[in-house]
Chains A and B, each alone.
Chain A
Amino acid sequence: MTLIPSEFAIGEVFLPPFLVVALLAMAAATLTAHLLNRFRVSRFFFYPPLVLLALTALYIVGIGTWIIPL
């Protein structure tokens, strides 16, 4: 059992967990991309936007599995 709930509500408004996971994943992927740019690791990728998409998918899976269960 994790401490983070899988249901989110702001007042009486229910937020689907996938939405929260997706937003967090996009934020994490953007931060990762920024760091990769900063340290010039991005020059080793053939097409960085595809890598960003892949990072987002990985973060969704990771966050959805271990942090906010989907």
Chain B
Amino acid sequence: MTSMTDAAEVTETNPNRRSRREGSAGSSRGERPLRSALRRLEETLEHAGPIRVSDRTRVALQTGLAMVLAYGVALAMDWHKPYWAGLAVAFCALGSVGESLHKGMQRVLGTLVALVLSFVVLSLFIQDRWLFLLAGSLWTVFCSYLSMTSARSYFWIVAGFSLPLLTIGGGGMPVQTFDVVVLRAQQTLLGVLSVTLVAVLLLPVSSGRSLAKRTTELVSTLRELARDAFSKLSVTTTPNAAKADPDPEHAALEEARTQATRALGALPELLAAAELDTYAVWESRHAWRNALRDLSQLKRTLERLHQNHTELTDVDLRNHLQGLDTLRAAVDSRLQRVEALLPAVGDTERDMLPPGAGDVAADPINQNLDIQESGLSAFDRAALALTRRQLIEVERLTADLSARVEAIALLTREPLDTGTDRGEAPPASPFSLPVLLEPERLRGLVRQQSTFWLAILCLFYIPDVPLSDSTIVIAASLSMSVNLMPQVRPRILIAPVVVAVLFAGWLHLIVMPHLEGFAALGTLLFAVTFLISWLFHEPSQVIAKSIGLASFVVIMAVDNQQDYSFEALANLAIGLPMVVLIIVFTTYFPLSFRAEDRSAALIARWFRSASWLLGTLGTDSERAQQAGTTGFRVRLACHRQAIEHIPQQLTAWTRALSPAALGSAGPAPMQTLVTALRAMSIRIEDLLEARDAVHSPAMERALAAAVREWRLVVRELLATAATDPAHMDATDLRAQLDGKVRQIERLMERAMNEDPDFHAHLSLNENSYRLLGAYRGLSESLVNFARAAHSVDWPCLREPRF
């Protein structure tokens, strides 16, 4: 357009120049052929429209160009080890500007921190190798720990392995360390800058759109779960229907919950990336963070609602909760509105309001959901009290979420206070005792340190070990990465490493000697990088892509003073699998990371924690005495953390179980067992919250003894399940539970009839109903667990095998 306008202006001002309307014959006489050809090309491109390139090709193109740029600059500046810049490109070239920049910044900052620390460590321990190694070991364990607890895990991993790299990279000559350190910083910065430059200038894609899209998908999933929860609450079924086998939609809903959990795990990182490359997201970042927190709480509350419906199968809540239908419509409408607003909010060049933003807010609804108790048994009232509280929570969360997304869409200040004003506890510090003492994390640290020290001992006591000092660096970095995914079997790395060595070795020894000049080398670098990035384009293959590119750049060993060494290649071919074998060794020694062992241990630990927590629900005076000691409070926090986190860890470990361990039953019973365990976790959380509330004196007098007896029986069952999860008989438990329910209902009816003060404290009665509902919910989910546990092939799972 611009050039046509310019051409028209030139034609008007210079009458000697012919316009395009005079035809090509006339124009060809007055123009040079090259200019005419360029003009025709320009017109063709203008009419063709914007170039459409698939994401796969775009990312491969950007990675290839960044690699060529990084190597070109490094070789032009005569910097040694340009493959360090190549490594930065390999690990930081991701799908969007924000993601690449975010990862690149973490890599640069991690390198700088390690750089400073390397000078400190060398200056302090230069004369004592054991103290030097101990300092390095302590630093890697510190970084490993923080990589498992922090949102910026990549920063800590880079900081962790960079220290041994920088201190040992001088090849045993400390006088060279300064040069090595400076070179590493230069090359890392160069690699990150190359990636950033290419990502920004060539076919840039922002993370904001991806963030909006993924969040929209999550909201859509939660809307589906909300519709399911409300529909189940509004339907009455036969009393035993809920205890029959799950309906066919159960598997689809479980899959939806799993997807929602995965999305919630990935969104914070995506938000951090979007903050860097999308102005609108940066401006409303607080609202985005609060919105993600609301979505997480909404998912948890919907899961609790879903659990409750089994106790209300013969109760139509529409008759007993005023305003339920209005609430249902309002929740659906709010989530629909959020779903409609989100797609436009991640647009970098948004210059108009998204459609629907700023519309008049809907009429307020009845937030109290008054209860009509007539015709309900005591336990139905109890379940209703729990459900009502959760419905109010859903209403509040959807109202907050809608207001936040509206504020994001309008780029205004969100009208709500932060989560701490709701009385919610801030996230635990990574250095608090409950987080520090988390057993799975400590096991990961033991494994990481075992790998590190085994590599050191191999270097010291095996003569001429391949890779020499680099064994320690590679062992440190691989062990820290494996810590984040302990379920992955390290032996799967051996084959890709061998293939990468053979391929890159062939390129290094056979192809490279025939290349002349950077044009040929650059073409090779671009072609191989493009190919690897193009082949491993799925998000789940990002690790394979990084390893492939990293192996390629390391083995190619491009340098200005180029030499071709088969010995180096052979050492790599033996040394890399050797490091992987060390990690395979630490999978079994000194602690076992086999999926069968971890699954059984986590189930046992869950039951021990659950049993302990049930022991803390005694009388108010007992609880007050217990809460006075610091040790008790720490233990309480540790056990609550275990109850909350173990189902999630178990999901990952049970997925890694081999078919031989699962036996003839297959994976389905184990997944059902984990779902039942997660349901029990939710019930225990409900129970702990309900117990903390103030209760009706009349209810306490009437039911204290019976509830205590019930609690102790359940506690005993949980303690026994820690050693034998399948010892409980579902039919027996059902009979016991039904008997207890009838006993408590009789006691409550007697109290209602005999005690004139029974109905005096409505809100306290509701707290007591919630507590009863939570006990019953826990017992019901224990029955479901017992049923699920009987389907699992425990002898096969426990059988020792290689």
- Hey, which bits of chain A sit against chain B, CB under 8 A? 13, 19, 33-34, 36-37, 40, 42-53
Query: Residue of A at shortest CB range from B584?
Result: A49
Is B802 in contact with A52, judged by CB distance below 8 angstroms?
yes
Task: Give which listed residue, B589, B594, B800, contacts A43 with CB less than 8 A.
Answer: B800
A47 touching B802 by the CB < 8 A rule?
no
Task: Tell me whether A13 and B802 are in contact in the complex, defined as CB-CB below 8 angstroms, given that A19-B574, A37-B660, A49-B588 are known contacts.
Answer: no
Given A19-B574, A49-B588, A49-B589, the answer on whether A42 and B800 have CB atoms closer than 8 Å is yes
- CB-defined interface of B291-310 with A at 8 Å, one 1/0 digit per residue? 00000000000000000000
8 pairs of residues in contact across A and B, judged by CB atoms under 8 Å: A13-B566, A33-B802, A42-B799, A42-B801, A43-B799, A46-B800, A49-B588, A51-B802
Q: Which of A46, A48, A50 contacts B801 (CB 8 A)?
A: A48
How far is A48 from B660 in the complex, measured between Cα atoms in Å? 15
A residues less than 8 Å from B799 (CB atoms): 40, 42-43
Chain B minimum-CB-distance residue to A45: B800
Q: Closest B-chain residue to A49, C-beta based? A: B588
Q: A47 contacts which chain B residues (CB < 8 A)?
A: 800
Name the prevailing secondary structure of the B interface residues.
loop
- A38 vs B801: C-alpha distance in the bound complex, in angstroms? 10
Listed residue (B570, B589, B592, B800) with the most chain A CB atoms within 10 angstroms of its CB: B800
Q: How many chain B residues touch the partner (CB < 8 A)? A: 12
- Which A residues touch B566, using CB under 8 A? 13
User: Given B570, B574, B800, which contacts A48 in the complex, CB threshold below 8 Å?
Assistant: B800
Cross-chain contact of A13 among B570, B589, B660 (Cβ < 8 A): B570
Chain B residues with CB under 8 Å of A34's CB are 802
B 560-601 binary contact with A (CB < 8 Å = 1; else 0): 000000100010001000000000000011001010000000
Chain A residue at minimum C-beta to C-beta distance from B799: A43
Closest B residue to A15 by CB, please name it. B570
Closest A-chain residue to B660, C-beta based? A37
**Which chain B positions have C-beta within 8 A of A19?**
574
Q: Is the CB of B802 within 8 A of A36?
A: yes
Q: Given A42-B799, A42-B801, A52-B802, 16 more contacts at CB 8 Å?
A: A13-B566, A13-B570, A19-B574, A34-B802, A36-B802, A37-B660, A37-B802, A40-B799, A43-B800, A43-B801, A44-B800, A48-B800, A49-B592, A49-B802, A50-B589, A51-B802
A70–B592 alpha-carbon span in the complex (Å): 33
A51 — which chain B residues lie within 8 A by C-beta? 802
Closest to A10 in B: B570
The A/B interface has a contact count, at CB < 8 Å, of 34
CB A23 to nearest CB in B, in angstroms, measures 10
A50 to B592, CA, bound (A): 11
As a 0/1 sequence over residues 62 to 74 of chain B, the CB contacts with chain A under 8 angstroms (1 = contact) are 0000000000000
A51 — nearest CB in chain B belongs to which residue? B802
User: Please, which residues of chain A bring their CB within 8 A of the CB of B802?
Assistant: 33-34, 36-37, 42, 48-49, 51-52
Q: How far is the CA of A42 from the CA of B802 in the complex (A)?
A: 7
Q: Which residues of A contact B801 (CB under 8 A)?
A: 37, 42-43, 48
Assembled-state Cα–Cα distance A33/B574 (Å): 24
5 smallest beta-carbon distances between A and B, as pairs: A49-B588, A33-B802, A48-B802, A42-B801, A43-B799
CB nearest neighbor in A for B798? A43
Which residues of chain A come closer than 8 Å to B574, judged between CB atoms?
A: 19
How far, in whole Å, are A45 and B799 apart by their CA atoms in the complex? 9
In the bound complex, how far is the Cα of B589 from the Cα of A34, in angstroms?
20
Q: What residues on B are CB-neighbors of A36 within 8 Å?
A: 802
Minimum Cβ distance to chain B for residue A33 (Å): 4
The docked-state distance in angstroms from the alpha carbon of A46 to that of B597 is 13
CA distance A33 to B491 in the complex (A): 16
Q: Which B residues touch A48, using CB under 8 A? A: 800-802
**Chain A positions within 8 Å of B592 at CB level:** 49
Contact mask for chain B residues 463-488; partner A; CB cutoff 8 A; 1 contact, 0 none: 00000000000000000000000000
Cα–Cα distance between A33 and B660 once the two chains are bound (Å): 14
* Chain B 197-218 per-residue mask, 1 if CB under 8 angstroms from chain A, else 0: 0000000000000000000000
Measured in the bound complex, the distance between the Cα atoms of B660 and A51 in whole Å is 19
What's the Cα separation between A49 and B591 when bound, in Å? 11
Name the CB-closest residue of B to A36: B802
Report B597 CB to chain A, min CB distance, Å.
10
Question: Chain B residue with minimal CB distance to A33?
Answer: B802
Tell me the complex Cα distance, A47–B574, Å: 29
Whose C-beta in chain A lies nearest to the C-beta of B802?
A33
Q: How far is the CA of A53 from the CA of B585 in the complex (A)?
A: 9
Report the minimal beta-carbon distance from A64 to chain B, rounded to whole angstroms. Answer: 16
Q: Chain B contacts of A43 at CB under 8 A?
A: 799-801
**Which of chain A's residues has its CB closest to B658's CB?**
A37
Q: In this complex, which of B592, B660, B801 has the most chain A Cβ atoms within 10 angstroms of its Cβ?
A: B801
Residue of A nearest to B464 (CB): A16
Q: Within the assembled complex, what's the spacing in Å between the Cα atoms of A53 and B4?
A: 77
A interface footprint on B540-554 (CB within 8 Å = 1, 0 otherwise): 000000000000000
Interface 0/1 of B771-802, CB less than 8 Å to A: 00000000000000000000000000001111
Q: How far is the CA of A18 from the CA of B802 in the complex (A)?
A: 25
A40 to B661, CA, bound (A): 12
Compute how far the CA of A47 lies from the CA of B590 in the bound complex, rounded to whole angstroms: 12
Which residues of chain A are within 8 angstroms of B570 by Cβ–Cβ distance? Answer: 13
Shortest distance between the CB of A13 and any CB in chain B (Å): 6
Q: How far is the CB of A60 from chain B (nearest CB, A)?
A: 14
What separation, in Å, do the CA atoms of A42 and B574 have in the docked complex? 30
Residues of B within 8 A of A37 (CB): 660, 801-802
Once the chains are docked, how many angstroms separate the CA of A47 from the CA of B592? 10
Scoring B570, B588, B592, B802 by chain A CB atoms within 10 A of each residue's CB, the highest score goes to B802
Bound complex: CA A36 to CA B592 (Å): 20
B601 to chain A, nearest CB (A): 14
Interface mask (B222-253 → A, CB under 8 Å = 1, otherwise 0)? 00000000000000000000000000000000
Provide the bound-state CA to CA distance between A37 and B660, in Å: 9
Shortest distance between the CB of B261 and any CB in chain A (Å)? 32
A63 to B589 Cα, complex, angstroms: 25
Q: How long is the Cα–Cα vector from A13 to B589 in the complex, in angstroms?
A: 34
Q: Which residue of A lies closest to B574 (CB)?
A: A19
CA–CA, A27 to B594, complex, Å? 21
Chain A residue nearest in CB terms to B570: A13
Contacts of A50 in B (CB 8 A): 588-589
As a 0/1 sequence over residues 651 to 679 of chain B, the CB contacts with chain A under 8 angstroms (1 = contact) are 00000000010000000000000000000
The CA of A43 and the CA of B589, in the complex, are separated in Å by 19
CB distance from A14 to the nearest CB of B (A): 10
Q: How far is the CA of A46 from the CA of B589 in the complex (A)?
A: 14
Distance A36 CA – B660 CA, assembled complex (angstroms): 13
Of all chain A residues, which has the CB nearest B585?
A53
Distance to closest chain A CB from B642 (angstroms):
26
CA distance A39 to B570 in the complex (A): 38
A13 to B566, CA, bound (A): 9
Name the residue in A42, A46, A51 with the highest tally of chain B Cβ atoms < 10 Å from its Cβ.
A42
Contacts of B800 in A (CB 8 A): 42-48
Give CA–CA (A70, B153) in the complex, Å: 46
Q: Which residues of B contact A53 (CB under 8 A)?
A: 589
Chain B 85-101 against A: per-residue CB contact (8 Å), 1 yes, 0 no? 00000000000000000
Report A-chain residues with C-beta under 8 Å of the C-beta of B594.
Answer: 49
Alpha-carbon distance A49/B489, docked complex (angstroms): 14
**Distance in Å from the Cβ of A18 to the closest Cβ of chain B?**
10
B660 to chain A: which residues have CB within 8 Å? Answer: 37
Instruction: Give the distance in Å from the alpha carbon of A44 to the alpha carbon of B16 in the complex.
Output: 100
Bound-state Cα–Cα, A49 to B589, Å: 8
Question: How far apart are B292's CB and chain A's nearest CB, in angstroms?
Answer: 41
Measured CB to CB, the closest approach of chain B to A37, in angstroms, equals 5
Tell me the bound Cα distance from A33 to B802 in angstroms.
6
In the complex formed, the residue of A with least CB distance to B566 is: A13
Interface residues of B in 728-775 (CB under 8 A from A): none
